Amino acid sequence: MTTPLPTPGQTIGPFFGYALPYEGDADLVPPGRADAIRLHGWVYDGAGNQIPDALLEIWQADADGNVPQTEGSLHRDGWTFTGWGRAATDLNGHYSFSTVLPGSASEGQAPFFALTFFARGLLDKLHTRIYLPEHAANAGDPLLVSLSDDERATLVATADATGLRFDIHLQGDRETTFLTYS
Amino acid sequence: MPSTPSVRDVTAPTPKPVETQADLSAEIADLETRSAKAAAEGGDVPQPLLDYPPYRSSVLRHPTKDPRHADPETIELWAPCFGHSDVDPLEADLTIAGSGEPIGERITVSGRVTDGEGRPVRNQLVEVWQANSAGRYIHKHEQHPAPLDPNFTGVGRCITDSEGRYRFQTIKPGPYPWGNHLNAWRPAHIHFSLFGRAFTQRLITQMYFPSDPLFALDPIYQSITSQKDRDALVATYDHDLSVPEYSMGYRWDIVLTGPSRTWTEPEEGDL
């Protein structure tokens, strides 16, 4: 048997807004809970304009570093941590998740949020990672150490009053480093 | 060429793009030739190309740097888990949203989701959205003055079964005009959102219908510059899926590639 041909991606287009977002999509934990943080940011195109029709999805370990394998992301009960969330950008190109900081999968491993990114005008998904600022394990992370200082800076969130901020630049001086896996 | 007022001019205050289909088709042909040459010389040509100027919105929205290679770590080798508490089986029928039957050609779309080794992606979420039979989406930014259908929202979901199969009952979407260039029309399509066995396999794409005359003209479809890869997005008419006196059947199988954790056979009782 021959290896099946991968199905190619296509743009998410302009009209996903009535289909993919749903109530509670971006709230992996209820906003305001004692251990909740906000993970948010702005998304920019190559002209520096915010992108109002992008969709971001995060997938993460829980605070103890365990991979959640619990259903319930589409009908959140407020108690179950499923590790997955979805946020569309608003008219200002802003997205916001309520979640918890991911723990390390094993000792010494740098925790991160896995991110997939979609937008009108973008012909296929993009993958990247959002690392935690000033985490001790970042210094030994195989991906981060393989990058230049400028590239590394695009993958590490910055701390702010409510949690973390992580902006995405599709092009330009601060172009986000995107990833491929093999 | 003299401009012919179209029905859209009645309500459209925005300037019309002046680029014609002939301009776009020349760019499409040029990029296909260059991609084929690069592939023949052993180059790695992404399918689709992200830097694909005939799709005008992609110009400022594609990364200019090549992606960096990462060895997937634990979280990336697993996929989020969805199940029957997330999706009602009725969500797979897009024809029951209203009190009456939606207008259009009733169809069944079904197929299998597998990974790159042909193994089923079981118990996983599939989401779809589409225009109605007149080519109109229910979306506040949709400008196309085709009729809305009160009995059709064009949104569905299902969970794949133990063999990776999905099945939707819907109506065939219509082609619709868009502003990429003068007289630009999208071939009829259904948007699909898929999760694999690992987060690396996440996919959003579009399923098309066989023999659409718009294929050659559409910069989104043609951003996949290799014919065999483009063909992978076109469903097949399947008479065995057609229901007598009721609906037409289309089959479309989906292959999600990307590294995942080691395959294990399902254990007894593992649904």
Q: Of the candidates A181, A73, A182, A54, which has an alpha carbon nearest to the alpha carbon of residue A128?
A: A181
Q: Is the pLDDT of residue B266 over 70?
A: no
Q: Any idea which residues of B carry the catalytic annotation? A: 137, 176, 186, 189, 191
Q: Of the candidates B121, B123, B150, B125, which has an alpha carbon nearest to the alpha carbon of residue B138?
A: B150
Q: What is the pLDDT of residues B208-258, one digit of tens each?
A: 999 999 999 999 999 999 999 999 999 999 999 999 999 999 999 999 998
What are the φ/ψ torsions at residue B25 (nearest 5 degrees)?
Answer: -65, -35
CB-CB contact of B126 with B166 (8 Å): yes
Q: Is the pLDDT of residue B265 over 80?
A: no
Q: What is the pLDDT of residues A160-181, one digit of tens each?
A: 999 999 999 999 999 999 999 9
Question: In chain B, positions 144-163, which contact chain A (CB-CB < 8 Å)?
Answer: 153-155, 157
Q: What is the pLDDT of residues B77-135, one digit of tens each?
A: 999 999 989 999 999 999 998 889 999 999 999 999 999 999 999 999 999 999 999 99
Chain A contact for B15, CB < 8 A? no
At position A35, the amino acid (one-letter code) is: D
Asked if B258's CB is within 8 angstroms of A126's CB, the reply is no
Residue of A nearest to B186 (CA): A13
Residues A2, B118: Cα–Cα separation, whole Å: 10
Residues A93, A10: Cα–Cα separation, whole Å: 21
Q: Of the candidates A36, A16, A18, which has an alpha carbon nearest to the alpha carbon of residue A27?
A: A36
Q: What is the ipTM of this complex?
A: 0.97
Q: What is the pLDDT of residues B52-67, one digit of tens each?
A: 999 999 999 999 999 9
Asked if B232's CB is within 8 angstroms of A72's CB, the reply is no
Residues B87, A72: Cα–Cα separation, whole Å: 9
Residues B123, B158: Cα–Cα separation, whole Å: 9
Split at pLDDT 50, 70, 90, the class of A107 is confident
Split at pLDDT 50, 70, 90, the class of B270 is very low
CB-CB contact of B156 with B127 (8 Å): yes
3-state per-residue secondary structure call for A79-98: CCCCCEEEEECCCCCEEEEE
DSSP E strand boundaries for chain B: 68-70, 106-115, 125-130, 155-159, 165-171, 176-178, 184-186, 189-194, 203-208, 236-237, 248-251, 254-256
Residue of A nearest to B222 (CA): A10
Asked if B72's CB is within 8 angstroms of A73's CB, the reply is no
Residue of B nearest to A176 (CA): B63
Enumerate the β-bridge partners of residue A42.
A94
Give kind and range of the element (H or E) at residue B36: helix B21-40
Token pair in block for residue A77 = 């009960």
